[in-house]
Structure 1
Amino acid sequence: MGSATTQALAASTQALAAAKDVTLDTARELFAVAHAVGESSQLSGALADPSAPAAARENVVTAVFGAFSASTQTVVKAVVAERWSNASQLVDGIEELAIRAAAIADAGADIEGELFGFSRVIAANAELELALGGRLGSQDAKVTLVERLLSGSTSAPAALIVSSLVRQPRDRRIRQLLNRAMRIVSAQRNRVVATVYSATELNEAQRTRLSDALSQRYDGQVALNVVIDPTVIGGLRVQIADDVIDGSISARLADLRQKLAG
């Protein structure tokens, strides 16, 4: 991410935070804006053109997205008023704001957990991953498949995020999209996500102790996504971003074998 995009995204995130009446419809409209801009090189070029006055770029937003809510238009105008490194990163930025808006719309929904659960379903089903990420089949058909899979089992914000990302993958793998969305939702809620690999399911007390310990270590709220992995044997392996804490028995055995071999 270029420095211009970093600054633009920070300012755009502040604009979303200041916006009034952010609802799931706001998120839905922001996803629609990201899709429209991503699909049109002419539109994305006009909105990301640093040589054009900010007012001219804002006028394009009014002309193209005038039917959207005032809240959405205000946020998008704030986005295009910034200087982005390139048009693709502008689209990424609008998409991120859409995900953040979905998180704001329902603060009580376990969006990260639901996205993680769907990611694990895809990881366990190669045919499903191919159906959603392959070049065959229309995007509408893929969205319909996702909506059918998530119907009745997932919150409206999580379902919107997944279906919107599937509709506009832009050459990104579906699990990559879901992982990014999880990080964005966690950032919006001022917490980090730890992926915990364990040979057995953790009970509520174990989850609480682990979450509290990690929260103290990382100086902030930590949400847990637990993956049952028999290869761990015993103990836990925890990954937070690029940090890995490996206290599994399998890791100790591997370390012992290495020492014996040396």
Structure 2
Amino acid sequence: MQGSSRAAAAGSREAFTGVLAAGADRTRLAEELFAVVALLDSNVTLRRAVADPSHDGARKTDLAERLFAGRVGAEALVVLKGVVSQRWSSERDLSDTLERYAVESVIADAETQDSADRVEDELFRFERIVAADPDLRAALTDAQASTERRSALIGSLLEGKVTPQTLVLARQAVLSPRGRRFDSVVREYLEIAATRREQQTATVISAVPLGEQERSRLAAGLSAIYGGKVHVNTVVDPRVLGGIKVEIGDEVIDGTVIRKLDAARRAMGA
């Protein structure tokens, strides 16, 4: 985001946090904000009208009131008016911010049930499963397949096996990627979750699955190193042979056996 959009995002957040603090139905709020984003994406005239920087905030909030009152709940309308009242550098920045608030609403709902960690784990694992199965990936991302068919496929894979919040985000990522690849959408959702929860996320790659105690010790160690909470996602890759590889932010800590063997081969060939 450019400067004015960053300021707009900050300015609109008060409306969103106020709605959550007042006890809004987070599930409904997320559903309605996702629906508004879909409408804005599909209607260029409406999108330009609510994002036009030449119009003052009052004019745009009046437009939002006329168009959406009665179509969305009072809480979603408050958030929408808080967003459109700001001055945005681009139309996409406005709709991206609404999408972000929808995702945060889902995570906030999980927080009330103490299941936010589980949602992050499940969403991460689902993305890895899709990435590892070309046929599944093709079926989920096939633009020629009907929405109903792809939604049913997601349901068959996840319903009853993951939290309701994970199912919402997985379905949204598949059915409404907004021009992005599925893995990119999931990565953005996980980044939003991490930012909301004021934590960093580490991806740990190992040759064998890590037990809960190992994972907890690793998370505690990384938290001590980087400061603040660190959520650990794990990936099993037999090719590393042994040891672990940790990716956190832009940093990579590679303590795998395969890396050491590669270093030894390079040294012998030097």
Q: What's the TM-score bracket when you normalise by the shorter of the two chains?
A: over 0.9
> How far apart, CA to CA, are the structure 2 residues paired with 1:38 and 1:166?
16
Match among 228, 242, 245 for residue 237 of structure 1: 245
Please tell me the root mean square deviation across aligned C-alpha atoms, in Å.
1.5
Match among 34, 38, 41 for residue 35 of structure 1: 38
Give the TM-score normalised by structure 2: 0.92
Deviations, residues 215-258 of structure 1 (Å, cap 9, x unaligned): 11121111111000011111110111221111111112222222
Deviations, residues 92-115 of structure 1 (Å, cap 9, x unaligned): 111111000111112012211111
- Tell whether the 8 Å contact from 1:140 to 1:167 is kept in structure 2 after alignment: no
Amino acid at match of 1:11: G
Match among 204, 217, 229 for residue 209 of structure 1: 217
Match among 115, 140, 149 for residue 141 of structure 1: 149
Percentage of identical aligned residues: 32
> How far apart, CA to CA, are the structure 2 residues paired with 1:12 and 1:162?
26
What residue in structure 1 maps to residue 23 of structure 2? 21
What residue in structure 2 maps to residue 92 of structure 1? 96
Amino acid at match of 2:84: V
Quick check: 1:128 aligned with 2:131? no
- Tell whether the 8 Å contact from 1:111 to 1:185 is kept in structure 2 after alignment: no
Amino acid at match of 2:215: R
Query: Match of 1:192, SS?
Result: strand
Count of residue pairs the alignment pairs up? 262
What residue in structure 1 maps to residue 165 of structure 2? 157
> How far apart, CA to CA, are the structure 1 residues paired with 2:8 and 2:139?
35
5+ unaligned residues in a row in structure 1: which ranges?
none
Structure 1 residues 243, 14: closer, same or farther in 2, change over 3 A? farther
> How far apart, CA to CA, are the structure 2 residues paired with 1:197 and 1:15?
40
- Tell whether the 8 Å contact from 1:102 to 1:157 is kept in structure 2 after alignment: yes
What residue in structure 2 maps to residue 249 of structure 1? 257
1:214-225 equivalences under 5 Å are: 214-225=222-233
5+ unaligned residues in a row in structure 2: which ranges?
none
> How far apart, CA to CA, are the structure 1 residues paired with 2:221 and 2:158?
33
Higher mean C-alpha deviation, range 192-201 or range 56-65 = 56-65
Deviations, residues 148-194 of structure 1 (Å, cap 9, x unaligned): 32111111111112212322212211111111111111211111211
> How far apart, CA to CA, are the structure 2 residues paired with 1:64 and 1:131?
36
Quick check: 1:170 aligned with 2:170? no
> How far apart, CA to CA, are the structure 2 residues paired with 1:137 and 1:212?
44
- Tell whether the 8 Å contact from 1:192 to 1:223 is kept in structure 2 after alignment: yes
4+ aligned runs moved over 3 Å, structure 1: none
Amino acid at match of 1:75: V
What residue in structure 1 maps to residue 81 of structure 2? 77
